[in-house]
Amino acid sequence: GQSLEQPSEVTAVEGAIVQINCTYQTSGFYGLSWYQQHDGGAPTFLSYNALDGLEETGRFSSFLSRSDSYGYLLLQELQMKDSASYFCAVQSGGSYIPTFGRGTSLIVHP
């Protein structure tokens, strides 16, 4: 089976940098995705990593280390609107349907 671990909650102040970690256990790994979900809203896709390294998209970056079965989402210049839940999701094992982690609630303080 597949399992993903991510912290349940992270807090930070506006303007800071925060890193949300995700470790996974799976076989036949394809890639790791990140989704953002504001309270009561729909999850929206942020990024996808299939190869080792850092992918940057504006203030958000996502990193993957396949050998360590580990990835993280890096959010820079935090804004209040970044307060949301962030889910990592792994594609693996012959299925391209992602398996989602339980999510990390990011709280940004002024």
Residues that bind another protein (CB under 8 A): 30-31, 33, 35, 40-45, 48, 50, 87, 91, 96-103
Least CB distance to another protein at residue 13 (A): 23
* Strands, sheet with 3-5, edge to edge from the N-terminal-most edge strand: 3-5, 18-25, 70-75, 60-65, 53-57
Longest dimension (CA), the chain: 44
Cβ closest to another protein, residue 81 vs residue 96: 96
Cβ closest to another protein, residue 13 vs residue 50: 50
Cβ closest to another protein, residue 31 vs residue 76: 31
Cβ closest to another protein, residue 27 vs residue 110: 27
Nearest to residue 1, comparing CAs of 92, 68, 87? 92
Task: Let me know the angle formed at the C-alpha of 85 by 83 and 86, rounded to the nearest 5 degrees.
Answer: 110
Give the Cα separation of 102 and 80 in Å (integer). Answer: 22
